[in-house]
């Protein structure tokens, strides 16, 4: 089958197996190029490992630190005439490449919020690894079925308290327009916390601790974002920000739980990058397109793999004490938040329109990154060639 990108709103409903594999290899090459990480993690569980920050975390652990990894994700496999989701191809490629390297790479494709998947992962770790010394929690999901109540909570991206109007961009059409978002109801606020907050992270760590699968000094991380004030009504002060505040609160409880092991639980504040999750948030893609323009011009640009490599090499496993901000969070967003970067972004934000979008922002770079998430636009891939959808069968 010849596979072409089919973009529908903020998703691409097709994915290219060879392109996804090339994307995974690109991240592996980056990590390899940085050299072997001494004292890095040995056995790592990544929850949400098939895309974005979770994928880069799995790659940085395996190829930067020679770690065995278990990945959990929710992806659709290929069917006759229908490509798999990109994450499924990413994981197929990762597993193959990790095994070629002599590394253990086990995966569970299922709902990470469920008790059944937690049990499956626990069985896998106890059988194959014995314990894990790092657990990365990198889920981004629109819904969660609660394991006890059976209720399905849906997360919303809305402001809290009052409505909000600002610029956003239709990435595909290149149109800058205003968007108004009505404030979330109390129920929507609570639902978003139930999905994107820290309850499930805590359930995972409790389950692993009860099964005695956490190594001494085990660390666990969850990812979050703060960003500049222009995004605050929709992010930091909105429903998603409420969920992230819960994540931080849970980190403290999890760290208390890990005290007997001398373990650590931290939230890492990462920079804004193009992922399937971030492209679904209004306002944010326009901000990212402008941010890319400014950070690239200043030689500061980073994607997921550069961020996670820095997280491992300069923060978690650099051999010294772990540095936090005043709220105990690891900060990887210091380049994005530099005053000169944000002043420039704020100036452009006021001026940007449909007419000057290409000139004032890196919308082209944004589009390329977006398509790359689905395996399109990678060098060395012949997109005109008939492609086998069922990769592992090859
Ligand atoms: P992503 O969309 O690229 O990846 C999400 C992952 O979650 C995928 O592996 C997917 O399979 C998995 N997943 C979703 N629902 C699942 C389920 N029910 N069961 C199992 N797996 C499931 O997302 P991302 O942008 O990398 O986000 C990961 C984390 O990083 C989030 O907490 C996000 O808030 C945070 N973060 C993102 C950005 C950004 O700009 N994208 C910035 C800072 C922090």
- pLDDT more than 70, % of the chain: 99
Helix, strand, or coil (residue 276) = coil
In the reported structure, the alpha carbon of residue 305 is separated from the centroid of ligand 1 by a whole-number distance in angstroms of 14
In the reported structure, the alpha carbon of residue 138 is separated from the centroid of ligand 1 by a whole-number distance in angstroms of 5
Q: Is the dihedral of CA 44, 47, 48, 54 positive or negative?
A: negative
Q: Within 13 A of 302's CA, how many CA atoms are on the CB side?
A: 20
**Quick check: CB of 275 below 6 Å from ligand 1?**
yes
In the reported structure, the alpha carbon of residue 356 is separated from the centroid of ligand 1 by a whole-number distance in angstroms of 31
**Quick check: CB of 90 below 6 Å from ligand 1?**
no
In the reported structure, the alpha carbon of residue 275 is separated from the centroid of ligand 1 by a whole-number distance in angstroms of 8
In the reported structure, the alpha carbon of residue 55 is separated from the centroid of ligand 1 by a whole-number distance in angstroms of 9
pLDDT at 80: 86
The pTM of this model reads: 0.98
Higher pLDDT, 392 or 166: 166
Instruction: Return the number of other C-beta atoms located less than 10 Å from residue 185's C-beta.
Output: 13
In the reported structure, the alpha carbon of residue 221 is separated from the centroid of ligand 1 by a whole-number distance in angstroms of 13
pLDDT at 392: 65
Phi, psi of 347 (to 5 degrees): -65, -45
Quick one: average pLDDT of 148-159?
97
Give CA–CA dist 106/109, Å, rounded.
10
- Closest Cα to atom 18, ligand 1: which residue? 111
Name, in order, each residue with C-beta under 8 angstroms of 54's C-beta and a sequence gap of 6 or more.
46, 47, 48, 71, 73, 136, 138, 139
**Quick check: CB of 74 below 6 Å from ligand 1?**
yes
pLDDT classification of 361: cutoffs 50, 70, 90: very high
pLDDT reading at 52 higher than 90: yes
Instruction: Return the number of other C-beta atoms located less than 10 Å from residue 30's C-beta.
Output: 18
Atom of ligand 1 nearest to the CA of 85: 11
Name, in order, each residue with C-beta under 8 angstroms of 268's C-beta and a sequence gap of 6 or more.
221, 222, 223, 224, 311, 315, 329, 330, 331, 332
pLDDT at 322: 87
The alpha carbon torsion through 106, 110, 111, 116 (nearest 10 deg) reads -80
Helix, strand, or coil (residue 175) = strand
Name, in order, each residue with C-beta under 8 angstroms of 24's C-beta and a sequence gap of 6 or more.
55, 59, 90, 93, 94, 97
- Closest Cα to atom 15, ligand 1: which residue? 141
**Quick check: CB of 270 below 6 Å from ligand 1?**
yes
**Quick check: CB of 227 below 6 Å from ligand 1?**
no
pLDDT reading at 136 higher than 60: yes
**Quick check: CB of 113 below 6 Å from ligand 1?**
yes
pLDDT classification of 198: cutoffs 50, 70, 90: very high
**Quick check: CB of 48 below 6 Å from ligand 1?**
yes
Q: Which string of DSSP letters, residue by residue, matches 17-83?
A: HHHHHHHHHHHHHHHHHT---TT--SEEEEET-SSHHHHHHHHHHHHHH--EEEEEE--PPPBTTBP
Quick one: average pLDDT of 32-52?
97
Strands 164-170 and 175-181: antiparallel
**Quick check: CB of 114 below 6 Å from ligand 1?**
no
**Quick check: CB of 107 below 6 Å from ligand 1?**
no
In the reported structure, the alpha carbon of residue 386 is separated from the centroid of ligand 1 by a whole-number distance in angstroms of 31
pLDDT reading at 394 higher than 60: no
Question: What is the average pLDDT value for the chain, to the nearest integer?
Answer: 96
Name, in order, each residue with C-beta under 8 angstroms of 357's C-beta and a sequence gap of 6 or more.
169, 174, 176, 289, 363
Tell me which of 12, 46, 48, 245 to substitute to probe ligand 1's pocket, judged by most ligand atoms within 8 Å of the beta carbon: 48
**Catalytic residue (one of 53, 225, 235, 317):** 235
- Does residue 235 have an active-site annotation? yes
Strand partners, 43: 68
- Closest Cα to atom 3, ligand 1: which residue? 52
pLDDT reading at 140 higher than 70: yes
Domains in the chain, CATH or no CATH each: 7-163+187-281+302-333 (3.40.50.720)
Helix, strand, or coil (residue 263) = coil
pLDDT reading at 266 higher than 70: yes
In the reported structure, the alpha carbon of residue 51 is separated from the centroid of ligand 1 by a whole-number distance in angstroms of 7
Helix, strand, or coil (residue 144) = strand
Q: pLDDT tens digit string along 297-345?
A: 999 999 999 999 999 999 999 988 888 999 999 999 999 999 999 999 9
Quick one: average pLDDT of 84-93?
97
Instruction: Return the number of other C-beta atoms located less than 10 Å from residue 120's C-beta.
Output: 14
Whether the CB-CB separation of 248 and 327 falls below 8 Å is answered with yes
Name, in order, each residue with C-beta under 8 angstroms of 92's C-beta and a sequence gap of 6 or more.
17, 21, 84, 391, 392
**Quick check: CB of 387 below 6 Å from ligand 1?**
no
Tell me which of 24, 70, 154, 277 to substitute to probe ligand 1's pocket, judged by most ligand atoms within 8 Å of the beta carbon: 277
Quick one: average pLDDT of 345-368?
98
pLDDT classification of 9: cutoffs 50, 70, 90: confident
Q: pLDDT tens digit string along 274-293?
A: 999 999 999 999 999 999 99
Q: Is 131 exposed, middle or buried (0-12, 13-18, 19+ CB in 10 A)?
A: middle
Atom of ligand 1 nearest to the CA of 373: 3
pLDDT reading at 241 higher than 70: yes
């Amino acid at each position: 089958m010849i596979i072409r990108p089919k973009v529908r709103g903020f998703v691409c409903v097709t994915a290219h197996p060879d392109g996804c594999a090339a994307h995974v290899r690109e991240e592996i090459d980056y990590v390899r190029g940085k050299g072997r990480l001494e004292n890095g993690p040995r056995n790592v569980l990544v929850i949400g490992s098939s895309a974005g920050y979770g994928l880069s975390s799995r790659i940085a652990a395996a190829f930067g630190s020679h770690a065995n990894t278990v990945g959990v994700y929710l992806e659709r496999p290929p069917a006759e005439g229908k490509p798999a989701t990109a994450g499924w191809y990413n994981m197929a490629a990762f597993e193959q490449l990790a095994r070629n390297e002599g590394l253990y790479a086990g995966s569970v494709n299922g709902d990470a919020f469920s008790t059944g998947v937690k049990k499956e992962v626990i069985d896998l770790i106890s059988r194959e690894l014995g314990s894990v010394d790092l657990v990365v929690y990198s889920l981004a999901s629109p819904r969660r079925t609660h394991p006890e109540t059976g209720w399905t909570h849906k997360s919303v991206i809305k402001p809290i308290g009052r409505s909000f109007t600002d610029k956003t961009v239709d990435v595909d059409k290149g149109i800058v327009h205003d968007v108004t978002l009505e404030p979330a109801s109390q129920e929507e606020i609570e639902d978003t916390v139930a999905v994107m907050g820290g309850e499930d992270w805590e359930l995972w760590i409790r389950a692993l601790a009860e099964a005695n699968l956490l190594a001494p000094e085990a660390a666990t991380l969850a990812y979050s974002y703060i960003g500049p004030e222009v995004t605050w009504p929709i992010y930091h002060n909105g429903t998603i920000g409420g969920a992230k505040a819960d994540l931080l609160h849970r980190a403290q409880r999890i760290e208390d739980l890990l005290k007997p092991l001398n373990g650590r639980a931290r939230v890492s504040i990462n920079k804004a990058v193009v992922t399937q999750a971030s492209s679904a948030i209004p306002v944010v893609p326009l901000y990212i397109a402008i941010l890319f323009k400014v950070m690239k011009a200043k030689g500061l640009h980073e994607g997921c793999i550069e961020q996670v490599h820095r997280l491992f090499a300069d923060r978690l496993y650099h051999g010294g004490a772990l540095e936090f901000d005043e709220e105990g969070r690891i900060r990887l967003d210091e380049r994005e938040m530099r005053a000169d970067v944000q002043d420039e972004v704020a100036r452009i934000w006021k001026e940007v329109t449909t007419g000057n979008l290409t000139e004032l922002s890196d919308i082209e770079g944004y589009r390329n990154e977006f398509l790359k998430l689905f395996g399109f636009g990678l060098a060395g891939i012949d997109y005109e060639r008939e492609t086998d959808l069922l990769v592992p069968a090859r």
